[in-house]
Structure 1
Amino acid sequence: MGKWGGNYLGQTALRAALTALLLLAVLCSGASAQVAESGPPLEGDAYTAAETAYKAFGQGDYKASAASSAEAVALRPDLLRLHLLLIDSLIAAGDLTRAEQATKTASAAFTGSQELEGRQANIRQRLAQQPASEGYKALERRDAKAAVRAARSAVEYAPDSISYRLLLLSAQLADNDLPAALATATEAIARDRANYVPLVWRGYINQRLGKRADAVSDFNAALAIPGLTATQQKNIRLIAADAALASSDFNAAIELLGSYSRTDPKVITRLADAEGARQQRGTLPNNSNNMPTPVQECSTTVNGVVCELEAPAVLSTLIPGASPEEKAAKEVFEAKERAYRAERDKDYSLAIVEARKAVQLEPEVAASRLLLVNILMAAGRPGEAEAEATKAIEAGHSSAEIHAQRGYARSKLRKFSGAMSDWETALKRGLPPTQAHDVRLALADAALASNDPMRALRALQKLSVSYETAIRKAYALQALGRKEESLAEFRTAERLAKTAMQSDGALRAQINTLVELERKPEARVLFDQAIAQGRLGSIRDADIGYLAVAVGNDEIALARFDRAHARGQLPARATIDAGYTAMRRFENPKAIAYLMEGIDAKAEGRIDIDDQKLFETRRTVSDLARVWGINTSVSYGKVGSAPNPFLTTTVPSSYTSQLGTEFYYRPEGIGYRNGAIFELFGRLFETLYDQSGGPTGARTTQGMVGARWKPFSSANLVFEVDKLFALGDAARDDTLLRALYSYTVGTDLRVLDASWPTWYVYAEVDRFLEKRQLVVITEGRFGRSFRLDPISSKLVFFPHAVLAANYDDSFANPEAYSAGVGGSLRYWFGETKYMAPPSYWELTLQYRWRLAGDQRAQGIFAQTSINY
């Protein structure tokens, strides 16, 4: 195979190594933990610096966090949590050199700290990534000496990483420095005695050095390691057989492989060489140094980079004259090897052709059929893989492995029911432990996707506790409504997570589950702690924004929405939610901009919301954008049915008509704060008609100026102060205090419903201070609104029943109670693309019957108004 270590340095190993580097980067992105410490509390400049650092970390500004935390550490070096914050900030900022120095400084002051030891290990792992990457690249370009130098540097940074030691070993083999490679293998064995790979490598190196006895000892020690899979055992035996053949120890080779099927190409090739040479039918070179080099394949798992050894493909070295059985086996072997090579090179078309040829040559061999199925799956052709697996099963080659593979194919095709049935069959027939573990996890995933959580729990029952099992149990329990149990499993998953992405996902699920359990305060504490510690970093900003909204942290929510928007990463669906978040933060211009962006996204088909939701969004823009308005009304009814701002009191039970006009202004910044409203206004009132002959016109002109405040976003309670001033001799100078409350349902325009229930209740208390007068009014209207689409989609008719009560201590009989019927016509106007119609004209006509009290409760009541 030459000095380059066979296929180990091929593209597969390089891709695995680079993937490992990315995984290590995620593993080491954890943030600071809170530590219980004694000593004086954090206060003053140190407190300010620490608070600034935590906030900057939570917002992703790691350089600023590092600067502020360094200031905090300088002021309070006795607090471990500040050192941890500095270290985490430097790691997140990518300044690993300073992070390592900060860790050394902290370790000198806080000896034995597990938090510092963990961070130091993470930092050194990350520092090892660069030289390791350089080592792989050097091997790829066949610069063995540069690879050795780089790999040594990686090992110095991360001495416990077996994958880096195996990189060094490969570089030394490439440099043909067998003594150094032997020393590296021995050091790796001492670091991880449960790993068979360094032992087999040392056996290979001892074999090449002519130390046959030591090689045999190493191979036997590798085979004795408990927990090896059948595949691992077989490959060790094949490699040991290569060593035996290289030493002409044919009996040892036959003993190693004699229990395996002779239909296996790798087995039959080696057995044929050993048996043929032993029977003097062929010759084999007796050269220990000519042993084929094992193939090392590395892959990234939840436990880091894991390397496996595979026996290389070899061709028979027999002289011509082999038996027909051996010739047939060789032909099959060569077809399979071409298939394997083509698959490794991602030439799937050739791999499939060669695999089909192997099936044709030995249709009775299940392994060839399984090879074809596996290659079809690797080629992304699950439909064909399912068909081939079905053919194999129908041809009598049913096995646990073929059912497992058909299950994976069906899962890819989203045929979850069939996939689960196959996997359950495979488990009943028996699979190697590792494969059974993976099948159970896949079965649980399919059950969850099929909304069958109990089946998922059954699949997971026999698995040991791990992140993979806990996270799936958590989601299954959640689907069953057993949220308290799911919360416990999410916590277990977070504790056992091996990567930041896994930990963040489990933590996020905990927070959401607490919200669903109506334990929002706990969810808020958990979320705020995570942000302060720099966690949840693997989750997108927009999703963090939604999580923050769920727990009620609008400050973080808006910051994350803003950051995602600035980076072009805010989904169109999130723009409306970002707008409402900005509204709750009283940032009205930003809220309007986000909501308008959402309205545009709906118009362009980038988000799918119904027209009513769109209308409500446009209504919110109308409310946010309003700075001023005018209300004008003309009313007709009995005296005393409404507050009387005039100096004179007309004869009870007579009809009057009054004109009222108001201009109001909402000051920017305080005028509209998420539904809480403050307005300044001026009003003019005038009596237009008096049935009893009382004053009308200019004599009754009444002026008012004042302010009103609606302090609550969700409750329509308004407090008002008015200063009345007389503009006519029948008007009054006075001061009025008012409180108003209303609750409404269905009073706004709707765009999806042609009709809808509508009702509202209204209460008002008026207290005049100078001319002592108390007025109380209550009214309720109950009916159904109908949109008059044949005339206009903006015209609404509201027939209703009315109940009213009135108290006015300026009358001889202060109380009046009535019930009646009526109808209103309301026409909405003034809409734009971004604003729902902000203005309306309304006409109301009612007739009320007195229930009790004064006669003013009975009669016609009419009003026309414009709200602009």
Structure 2
Amino acid sequence: MRTRLKFTLLLVSVSGFLSLLFHLGWTSDVFRQERAWYHRFPKQDRGEPPTTPAAPAISIPIPSPVPPIALAMSVNAEITVSAGPEEPVPKPAPVAPPDKPPEQAKENPRLEVRLEFDENIDQVHTAEKNDWYSHADKGYHLLAAGDHAGAIDAFEQALELNPDRTELKLQLAYSALKLHRNRQAVRWFSAVVRDREPAPSFALRRQIEELENRWSADGYLIYRDQQDDFGPLTGPNLVQSQAGLELSWQPPGIGYNNGRKLALYGRLLWALEEESLSFSDRSYQGGVGLRYKPLSRHNLVLSVERLLEVGSFARNDWMLRAGYSLDHGTDWQPARRWWSWSLYVDAAMIRPRDPDIYLTFQAQGGPAFRLTEQMTVQPGGLVLVNWQQDRYRTAHLVEGGPGVKFRIYFNESRYEAWRSHIELAVDYRFRIAGNSLGGSGPVAILLFHF
């Protein structure tokens, strides 16, 4: 690619990046509030809000106090009906004539039966309430002691008496997840989603999607400039345009165990012809392997793969691989904007008896914005380090630069969050150091996950 064209693409990409930041900032809530302030009060200082004229005094007549007799009647009327709080308040009974004994008005068998019946109902309701609460309290104590099986029994007994306690269903779901009872966890997570509709938690639906997932397919296409007018003409090449497809299967039961994952996968990789999108037939490389994530709270992934020769430039060998990553905000978020970043380290060894070693480090991040319900955009920066050593040579390349990513989510259900997405990333990478072929230039990456 010519140098003039490279700088033109760099100018276009940087201008587009700055324009996007200006547009997102101009349409943000902060700038909208500022613009609304100055449009409403153009001649006033922004730190001094306008003073509102004092309202005129209004004389309100003070009502006369209630006579003592009326107060006494109201108190007495409230006392006579306090035994039945769920019943409508009856009207005061007429005053008995003077010649009628006052005790006769109190001796009302119908009123006594109603009072006794209401008191029994209150006692039953109080006993039931205390009963479910005692089961729930027992469940929380067992949960604190680490007895998840006992906590499940206690929470289920509490829900039998009071089935509307959503927080107990959530505790049941997480306790079942701890005990590797995936089907039971899905059932209780789904019940919580139903209780919280029409605005269920995205995290709960993502958890159900991970538990229910069996098959997944991934693909990528990386196209980049492989020419460098100022670099070496021959040597190792770490900037090869390439593509790949992968199909993985997570077995039921052992495939997901409280954040630990096991999957079988097969994949096919190939390179692109130089300065073209055509596939290189001699570069097809196949592979089948086993991937395992042994830790619940850390994204450490170990894999063993058998490489299968398909093209004439491919190889038949064993590959051992380990990868570790940290990330924040890389998934869809319900907020309008958030920070997203990721760190990734990968190490691979091919042919253990006489190994070829491949090392990769990648760091990227920036603010993410939700443009629509299903589409997000993230402008940011990227730093990428590649190092490899084989029986012929050692190669390395350090590069970085600005870029922007667009992602579209789809394929959701009532209980499961977005299962699929398509992402387009455009970067301009500056060559910082290295002896690999290739130099500074634009890079386009197309990804899909299903």
2:243 to 659, 681, 695: 659
Which residue is 2:263 aligned to? 679
Equivalent in the alignment of 1:626: 213
- Secondary structure, counterpart of 1:670 in structure 2: coil
Distance change in 2, residues 1:627/1:654 (3 Å): closer
Q: How big is the shift at 1:670?
A: 0.8
Secondary structure of the 2:188 match is helix
Deviation at 1:582, TM superposition (A): 1.5
Among 412, 415, 419, the alignment partner of 1:831 is 412
Question: Taking structure 1 as reference, are residues 813 and 773 closer, same or farther at Cα in structure 2, changes over 3 Å only?
Answer: closer
User: Rg larger in 1 or in 2?
Assistant: 1
The alignment partner of 1:544 has SS state of helix
Structure 2 partner of 1:713: 296
User: Aligned partners of 1:655, 1:768: CA distance in 2, in Å?
Assistant: 20
Of 179, 182, 200, which aligns to 1:588? 182
1:767 Cα offset (Å) = 0.8
The residue type paired with residue 363 of structure 2 is G
- CA shift, 1:788, in A, is 1.1
1:800 paired residue among 363, 367, 380? 380
Task: Report the equivalent of 1:748.
Answer: 331
CA pair 808-711 structure 1, distance change in 2 beyond 3 A = same
The amino acid of 1:806's aligned partner reads N
The change in CA–CA distance for 1:700 and 1:566 in structure 2 (over 3 A counts) is farther
Query: Does the CA-based 8 Å contact 1:830-1:838 persist in structure 2?
Result: yes
Determine the C-alpha separation between the residues in 2 that align with 1:754 and 1:813. 45
Residue of structure 2 in register with 1:107 after alignment: none
* 2:367 aligned partner, one-letter code: R
- CA change 1:638–1:557 in 2 (3 A) is farther
Note the alpha carbon deviations across 1:609-642, whole angstroms, 9 max, x for none: xx4x611111111111101111111122477xxx
Q: State the distance in 2 between where 1:777 and 1:628 align.
A: 27
- Residue correspondence of structure 1 range 519-598 to structure 2 within 5 A: 539-565=133-159, 569=163, 571-598=165-192
Distance in 1 between residues matched to 2:246 and 2:290, nearest whole Å: 12
- Once the two structures are TM-superposed, the CA of residue 573 in structure 1 deviates from its matched residue by 3.5
- 1:47 is matched with none
Q: 1:788 to 1:373 in 2, by over 3 A?
A: closer
> In 2, are the aligned partners of 1:633 and 1:660 still within 8 Å (CA)?
yes
Amino acid at match of 2:218: N
Match of 2:370 in 1: 787
Q: Which residue of 2 aligns with 1:504?
A: none
Question: 1:715: how far off?
Answer: 0.5
Q: Alpha-carbon deviations, 1:714-742, whole Å to 9, x = none?
A: 10110111110101211111111111111
Partner SS, residue 272 of structure 2? strand
Whole-angstrom CA distance in 1 between matches of 2:132 and 2:168: 19
Q: What does the per-residue CA deviation read over 1:330-377, in whole Å, with 9 as the maximum and x for residues that have no partner?
A: xxxxxxxxxxxxxxxxxxxxxxxxxxxxx98xxxxxxxx9xx979966
1:733 counterpart = 2:316: yes
- The partner residue of 1:809 within 351, 373, 389 is 389
Give the CA RMSD over aligned residues.
3.2
**Cα deviation code 1:840-865 (max 9, x no counterpart):** 11111112212222355743332111
Letter in 1 for 2:381: A
Q: Is the 8 A contact 1:816 1:857 kept in 2?
A: no
Task: For residue 552 of structure 1, report the CA deviation from its aligned partner.
Answer: 3.5
The one-character-per-residue Cα deviations of 1:26-85 (angstroms, maximum 9, x if unpaired) are xxxxxxxxxxxxxxxxxxxxxxxxxxxxxxxxxxxxxxxxxxxxxxxxxxxxxxxxxxxx
Counterparts in 2 of 1:669 and 1:550: CA distance versus 1, 3 Å: same
Distance in 2 between the 1:690 and 1:552 partners? 59
**Equivalent pair of 1:654/1:692 in contact (CA under 8 Å):** no
1:860 and 2:447 correspond: no
Deviation at 1:817, TM superposition (A): 1.8
Per mean C-alpha deviation after superposition, the further-off stretch among 624-633 and 569-578 is 569-578
State the alpha-carbon separation in 1 of the partners of residues 380 and 299 from structure 2: 22
Question: Map of 1:380-395 to 2, 5 A cutoff?
Answer: 380=82
1:723 matched to 2:302: no
Preserved contact between residue 542 and residue 571 of structure 1 (Cα < 8 Å): no
Secondary structure of the 2:196 match is: helix
Q: 1:692 to 1:824 in 2, by over 3 A?
A: closer
Does the C-alpha gap of structure 1 residues 580 and 692 become closer, same or farther in structure 2, counting only changes over 3 Å?
Answer: same
Question: Residue 245 of structure 2 contacts residue 267 of structure 2 at CA under 8 Å; is this kept in 1?
Answer: yes
**8 Å Cα contact 1:634/1:659 also seen in 2:** yes
Deviations 1:788-832 (A, max 9, x none): 12xxx1111111111222211137453322221111111111011
Quote the Cα distance in structure 2 between the aligned partners of 1:726 and 1:707. Answer: 18
- The answer to whether 1:762 aligns with 2:362 is no
**Aligned partners of 1:745 and 1:760 also within 8 Å:** yes
Once the two structures are TM-superposed, the CA of residue 744 in structure 1 deviates from its matched residue by: 0.9
Distance 2:224 2:262 in 1: 31
* 1:135-534 pair list within 5 angstroms: 380=82
Q: Residue by residue, what CA displacement relative to the aligned partner does 1:440-496 show, whole Å, maximum 9, x if unpaired? A: xxxxxxxxxxxxxxxxxxxxxxxxxxxxxxxxxxxxxxxxxxxxxxxxxxxxxxxxx
2:362 aligns to what SS in structure 1? strand
Higher helix share: 1
Q: Which residue number corresponds to residue 703 of structure 1?
A: 286
Residues in 1 aligned to 2:261 and 2:219: alpha-carbon distance in whole angstroms: 20
Identity of aligned residues (%): 28
Q: How far apart are the structure 2 equivalents of 1:571 and 1:373?
A: 37
For residues 622 and 841 of structure 1, what CA distance do their matches in structure 2 show?
18
1:763–1:778 contact (8 Å) kept in structure 2: yes
Evaluate the alpha carbon distance shift between residue 680 and residue 567 of structure 1 in structure 2; reply closer, same or farther with a 3 A threshold: farther
Q: TM-score, normalised by structure 1?
A: 0.35
Structure 1 residue 760 displacement after superposition: 0.7
Shift of 1:379: 5.4
| Structure 2: distance between partners of 1:766 and 1:819 | 22
Question: Which structure has more strand as a fraction of its residues?
Answer: 2
Q: Is the 2:132–2:162 contact (alpha carbons within 8 Å) kept by the matching residues of 1?
A: no
The answer to whether the 8 Å contact 1:794/1:829 transfers is yes
Aligned partner of 2:429 among 835, 844, 848: 848
- 1:745–1:633 CA distance, 2 compared to 1 (3 A): same
Q: Does 1:689 align with 2:269?
A: no
Instruction: Determine if contact 2:132/2:158 at 8 Å carries over to the other structure.
Output: no
1:667 partner SS? coil
- Contact kept, 8 Å, 2:177 with 2:185, in 1: the verdict is yes
CA contact (8 A) 1:564 1:570 kept: no
The 3 A distance-change label for structure 1 pair 677 and 558 is same
Does 1 or 2 have the higher relative contact order (CA < 8 Å, sep 6+)? 2
Query: Do the aligned partners of residues 538 and 563 (structure 1) sit closer, same or farther apart at CA in structure 2, a change above 3 Å counting?
Result: closer
Q: 1:538 to 1:847 in 2, by over 3 A?
A: closer
Distance in 2 between residues matched to 1:538 and 1:574, nearest whole Å? 11
Contact 2:159 2:168 in 1 (8 A): no
The alpha-carbon distance between structure 1 residues 686 and 571, as it changes in their structure 2 partners (threshold 3 A), is same
Contact 2:132-2:157 within 8 A present in 1 as well: no
- Alignment counterpart, residue 615 of structure 1, candidates 199, 202, 210: 202
- Which structure 1 residue ranges, 5 or more long, are not aligned? 1-358, 361-368, 382-500, 502-535, 605-610, 640-649
Correspondence 1:106-145 to 2 at 5 A: none
